[in-house]
Chains A and B, each alone.
Chain A
Amino acid sequence: MTDFAEAHRPSNLSQTGLSETETERVSYLRAGHSLSSWLFTTDHKRIAILYLISITFFFFVGGAAAALIRLDLLTPKADLLTNEGYNRAFTIHGVIMVWFFLIPSIPNTFGNFLVPLMIGARDLAFPRLNLLSWYIFMLAGLFTLFVLIAGGVDTGWTFYTPLSSMFAHANVVLAATAVFIAGFSSILTGINFIVTTHKLRCPGMTWGRLPLFVWSIYATSLVLVLATPVLSITLVLIAAERLFGLGIFNPALGGDPLLYQHLFWFYSHPAVYIMVLPALGVVSELVAAAAHKPIFGYQFVAGSSLAIAVIGFFVWGHHMFVAGQSMYASAVFSFLSLLVAVPSGIKVYNWTATLYKGHISLDPPFLFAMAFIGLFVVGGLTGLILAMLAVDVHVHDTYFVVAHFHYIMVGGTVSAFFGALHFWWPKMIGRKYSLVWGRLSAIFIFLGFNLTFFPQFLLGYWGMPRRYHVYAPQFQVLHVFSSTGASVLAVAYLVPFLYLFYSMRYGEPAGDNPWPAIGLEWTTPSPPPKHNFAKIPVVSGPPYDYHVEIEGKDG
């Protein structure tokens, strides 16, 4: 803090909420108090906060659907929900979690907040487009909530034809419209980040000095821009089939239902990389900061983000191994799917090497990063199992697949999201939170997660199909474990919001660099002023410029 602040620090500092220090009085949070100064802002930091609030809301709506699912699965019979009701529950869980939580979570909150700060810019390339993205997202969210109230949709988040196009009696067109609208939000976000990274880096910030988080957001944005429009047109085609009886996916009219799956998964497989690439970037930041060491093999880690983004476009057919795709095409997709694990593996090895002989501090962000690495490795290895054509034939559409993707998306992305929240919260809000509670949350999230999802690997391997709520009695024990874990997880996910909110009022002011960590975002006050930097920084050194002891030299 500045000397001025020291001299004028009020004595009742801890009781008076967010505007005590000199810094807080001129921060972006205080620059304008009215509702319209928030709703018409073009400040990337405020838009990030708007997104944070929205996606948290959707996280809990999707979580409520999950709670219904896990409650129903406590017993082998259909005693909580009807068959239709269960279909609608898992569909709305998937739709909300994928499009209204996972895809925007890290890019639109932490990406928006941090990318300009990390590259030394005053804002993103197109600030008004950024605000428009949020409005479009909210409009789509509104549509989805309307779908929910109107009874939901029962096709699964994947909207497979011919169920969705010809037979479903639910709000398919409305749901498709909601997701279509959400797609525009993604596309505009992606364009903004790509142009920002190319054009707004401060002097001296070469590509080789960019934080790895920026690299991962850039790679994610490439996928957002190239993949999302294919989803858009596919949704238009489903809606057209439903509304006008078009026959593109109807075999009786010469169409091909598998064509739908090709188009859908051409987007949706890269979409899962949209969900995980930013998380991978966050973990790189958390690991470097926790180890107080530069990331090992920076160029390889940066390159691996791009590799995952590119290779991710060549593997979509692995979702269709048993759907009627040609055997030869399946073989090619199987091989390419194995290939995409290589860059992910590179990142994990490099993080491990970074931690080796680092001065590790066991703070909450580190614990979340470790949770990520462990759970992501399990998810990734089981992904390799699924990529093997011969094995997939047996476990496709079982709980094995469900466990695999939850390990990556929940064990991975959600852990990274919480890790990012715990790491950058002091920067965003300007206050420190209780580290003890942070560590406890991380531990209970990890334990609850494993209790919930590990049994599902076993369930799937032993034959429990996915999307069923009536099952053979021998599966019940594992389902009870899973549901118990889900309740632990639910509480563990709620607790951080309590102590983080508490810190907004009662937390100690964070100062510019509370951890401390290396990065341009830590050179500006917490919370940052509206224009980010008093003067645009000039970068002259490598990224993660931590002091590294060389054996025999420093003694």
Chain B
Amino acid sequence: MVETLVTEPYSDPRQQHDAAMMGMYIFLGNEVMLFGGLFAVALYTRLVHTKEAVAASRALHYGIGGTNTAILLTSSLCIALAVEAGRQGERKLAIRWLIGAIVLGLGFLSLKGYEYLEEFQEGLMPFTGFDTAIKTPVQHLYMDLYLIATGLHALHMVIGVGLLAYLVIGLSKRWIVVPERAITLIVVGLYWHFVDAVWVFLYPVLYLAR
């Protein structure tokens, strides 16, 4: 690892690099616990109201969800390649892969928005007056959980896209110098991959309960 900009209070580059990685891993651990609360609610629903939960899950569009999963996995590919380019000092290549990830990230969000619209028009959204297709109270609960979980995830995606945009601008204007400050790309990359990993769990838990 080639980062050389060592700032106080660190005394050597390895120490500073490890501290940044460790800090990010711990922060993402904290995010695991955040989403974990939602998975606890999902576990409760699946355990205590199995039949209705499965029925509610079938009403969701697993095809759209699956496509979104593929989009997100591909955006992770772009990020991983961007980070590798950054580590090798290939500034322009890093920028291109980052833009690719941004496009895919925005694509994910658009498809999600379209999906929400579909569900709204089908009467699946748990808002009073618009929930005509919701058959059981548990399905209402399920849709609540679906909204909050995917909403929280989407919020993290928006933050992620913002961070990626910051990286693109920073690299273009050379505020961020690679490979010396590749750690910035690595750390943002960690965040993006994490948000992808959360979706990897959300998809089967919400969409594929059978």
Contact = CB atoms under 8 A, between A and B. Distances in A.
B49 A194 contact: no
A414 interface: no
B118 interface: no
Nearest to B48: A256
A233 B19 contact: no
Residue from the set B23, B37, B52 with the largest chain A CB neighbour count within 10 Å = B37
Contacts of B34: 229-230, 232-233
A247 B33 contact: no
A247 B136 CA distance: 12
A127 B9 contact: yes
Interface residues of A, number: 45
A292 to B, nearest CB: 31
Given A124-B9, A256-B44, A191 B30 contact: yes
Contact of A187 (B30, B49, B127, B141): B30
B22 A226 contact: no
Contact of A225 (B9, B30, B38, B138): B30
Interface stretch (B78-86, B90-98, B144-152, B201-209): B144-152
A116 B15 CA distance: 16
B36 interface: yes
B127 A244 contact: yes
Contacts of A61: none
Given A123-B8, A123-B9, A247-B140, A198 B22 contact: yes
A18 interface: no
Interface string B16-42: 001100110011011111111110110
Nearest to B31: A229
Nearest to A536: B11
A116 B52 CA distance: 54
Interface string A510-536: 000000000000000000000100001
Contact of A195 (B19, B48, B141): B19
A259 interface: yes
B37 A229 contact: yes
B105 interface: no
Given A233-B35, A247-B144, A122 B8 contact: yes
Interface stretch (A234-242, A380-388, A542-550): A234-242
Nearest to B7: A127
Contacts of A248: 41, 141, 144-145
A249 to B, nearest CB: 9
A346 to B, nearest CB: 28
Interface string A117-139: 00001111111010000000000
Given A123-B9, A127-B9, A244-B127, A255 B141 contact: yes
A237 B148 contact: yes
A245 interface: yes
A199 interface: yes
Nearest to A121: B9
Nearest to A246: B144
Interface of B: 8-11, 15, 18-19, 22-23, 26-27, 29-38, 40-41, 44-45, 48-49, 52, 126-128, 136-138, 140-141, 144-145, 148, 152
17 contacts: A125-B23, A187-B30, A195-B22, A226-B33, A229-B30, A230-B33, A240-B148, A244-B144, A245-B128, A246-B148, A247-B137, A248-B144, A253-B137, A254-B137, A255-B141, A263-B37, A263-B41
Given A122-B9, A230-B36, 6 more contacts: A187-B27, A200-B9, A226-B30, A229-B36, A248-B41, A248-B141
